[in-house]
Amino acid sequence: MTRPAAPFPAPPADGGRGVLVTIRAALPTLRPAERRVAEAVLDDPAAVAGRSISALASQCSTSGATVLRFCRAVGFRHYPDLRLALARETGREEADNGSGVHLTGDISPTDSLEQIVAKITYSDARAIEDTAATLDLGALARAIDAVAGAERVDIYGIGASGFVAQDLHQKLHRIGLLSSVWPDPHAALTSAALLGPRDVAIAISHTGTTIDTIEALRLAEAGGATTIAITNFGHSPLTGHARHVLTTAARETTFRSGAMASRIAQLAVIDCLFVGVAQRSYERTMQALERTYAAVQGRRVPRRESRRRNPPSAPRA
C-alpha cells in the first residue's frame, strides 16, 4: 500500500516551498477552528508572518492554544517556527516573480489584463512546480508498474477531472493499451463492478470528495483491481480506496469553478504516468505512435494548399 501516512511531514527546515502546500493538503483533516487559522495563513501568508500568536488567534476568533495545535498539525512545534517559514517562503516567491509583492493568483475586479495574465501564469507555474516537488516518486513508480502490466485500465473522473481522464485514456489508447474512460457515473459503476485482480482503476478528483468517483473506485477495489487515486488531498475519502496515491499541489483561487490550476497539475501527473508506462515498452510505443500518426495524416490539409486557400494579407500602404 502506498497511501500517505499521517501525520503530515514537517516542512523543510529552511521553511521552503512546501509550507503552503502542506497547509493546503492538511485542510480536510483540521478541526473547524484550526481550519480558520489555516485559511487565514493561506489568504495572506506574508501578513501572518508578521503577526503575534494572539493577533492571529483574535483574527480567527479562536485561542492561542488552537493556533499552536494548528502549527503542530502541519509539522511545526512552535508558532515562531511557522512565522519564520512563512516569511522565507513569501520572500522567495517575491524574488522569483520579480514583482516585489506576494502573488496569490486571486483575481480582483480591478485587475488589469496584464495583471490577470501574470496571476494566471504564476498560479499555473506554481501548481506544476509544487506538484513536481511533492510527488511521491515511489508511488508513481508503482502506479507505472501496475498500468504497464494491466489487462485493462478504467479511468474515472467527473466534470473538469473528466477532461483530464479523457486525455489519459487517449494517450494510453494511442500506444495500444486497453483503456476506457467513464465520465458518466452509472457507466463508471457498471464497468468498475466487472474489474478483477489483473485490472487497474484510476480515479481523478481534485478534492477527493466527489461521490461518483469515490464509489467507482470502491467497487473496483472490492473486485480486486489495483486502484490509483490522483487528487490534491492525500487524506480524503477517495484515497481510502486507493492502493497508490498521486497527489497534486494546486491552489484554486477566485474562479474555483473554472478548475484552472488543478487541471494543469493533474495533467502534469498523468503525463508523468503515461511517459513512464510508454518507456517500459519503448520500441512498441514508438511503432504505435508512428502508425497512429500516419493514420490521421490524410485528414490534414497539405501546407502548400493551405497557403493557397489562406493567402497572406497584402502589406498595408
Domain with residue 216: its CATH number is: 3.40.50.10490
Predicted pLDDT of residue 24: 85
Place of cell 474512460: 181
Q: Is the confidence at residue 192, as pLDDT, over 70? A: yes
Q: What is the pLDDT of residue 35?
A: 93
The answer to whether residue 19 is domain-embedded is yes
Split at pLDDT 50, 70, 90, the class of 222 is: very high
Q: How many residues are given for the chain? A: 317
256 pLDDT band (50/70/90 cuts)? very low
Domain final residue pick, 102, 117, 148: 102
Q: Which of 55-69, 87-101, 272-286 has the lowest mean pLDDT?
A: 87-101
92, 141: one domain: no
Tell me how far apart the alpha carbons of residues 223 and 241 are, in angstroms, rounded to a whole number.
Answer: 12
> Do 186 and 275 belong together in one domain?
yes
Give the pLDDT of residue 147.
97
278 has pLDDT over 90: yes
Domain range for 59 is 9-102
Whether 87 and 162 share a structural domain: no
pLDDT at residue 259 tops 70: no
Residue 188 in any domain: the answer is yes
Residue 60 shares a structural domain with residue 169: no
Q: How confident is the model at residue 257 (pLDDT cuts 50, 70, 90)?
A: very low
My answer on whether 90 and 143 are in the same domain is: no
Q: Is residue 303 part of a domain?
A: no
pLDDT of res. 151: 96
Is 91 in contact with 25 (CB distance < 8 Å)? no
pLDDT of 193 higher than 60: yes
| 207 occurs within a structural domain | yes
Taken in order 19, 254, 96, 124, the sign of the CA dihedral is: positive
Asked if pLDDT for residue 71 goes beyond 80, the answer is yes
pLDDT of 311 reads 57
**pLDDT of 70 above 50:** yes
pLDDT of residue 290 exceeding 50, the answer is yes
Q: What is the pLDDT of residues 80-106, one digit of tens each?
A: 999 999 988 887 766 655 554 445 556
Tell me, yes or no, whether 187 and 82 share the same domain: no
Residue 260 belongs to some domain of the structure: yes
**Per-residue pLDDT for 275 more than 60?**
yes
Q: What is the pLDDT of residue 303?
A: 73
**Average model confidence (pLDDT) for the chain?**
85
pLDDT beyond 70 at 4: no
In which band, very low, low, confident or very high, does the pLDDT at 179 lie, cut at 50, 70 and 90? very high
Q: How many domains does the chain have?
A: 2
Q: How far is CA 305 from CA 2, 56, 295, 296, in A?
A: 54, 66, 20, 17
pLDDT bin (cut points 50, 70, 90) of residue 305 is low
The reported pLDDT for the residue numbered 313 is 56
- CATH assignment of the domain containing 28: 1.10.10.10
> Does residue 316 lie in a domain region?
no
In this structure, the answer to whether residues 157 and 250 fall within a common structural domain is: yes
Does one domain contain both 142 and 251?
yes
Q: What percent of the chain has pLDDT over 90?
A: 57
Q: Is residue 295 part of a domain?
A: no
Write the Ramachandran bin of 98: left for phi over 0, alpha for psi from -120 to 50, otherwise beta.
Answer: left
Alpha helix segments (H runs only) across 45-112: 45-49, 53-59, 64-73, 79-97
User: Do 144 and 63 share a structural domain?
Assistant: no
Question: Could you tell me the pLDDT band of residue 22, with boundaries at 50, 70 and 90?
Answer: confident
Considering the domain architecture, whether residues 263 and 142 belong to the same structural domain is answered as: yes
> In a 3-state reduction of DSSP, which class is residue 7?
coil
Same domain? For 70 and 149 the reply is: no
Looking at per-residue pLDDT, the higher value among 140 and 89 belongs to: 140
Residue 307 pLDDT: 60
17 pLDDT tier (thresholds 50, 70, 90) = very low
Asked whether residue 116 is domain-assigned, the answer is: no
Question: Grid cell 457498471 — which residue?
Answer: 190
Query: Residue 236 CB: number of other CB atoms within 10 A?
Result: 24
Average the pLDDT over 173-186 and give the result: 93
Looking at the fold, whether 146 and 85 belong to one and the same domain comes out as no
Please report, rounded to a whole number, the percentage of residues in the chain having pLDDT higher than 70.
83
Residue 246, classed as helix, strand or coil, is strand
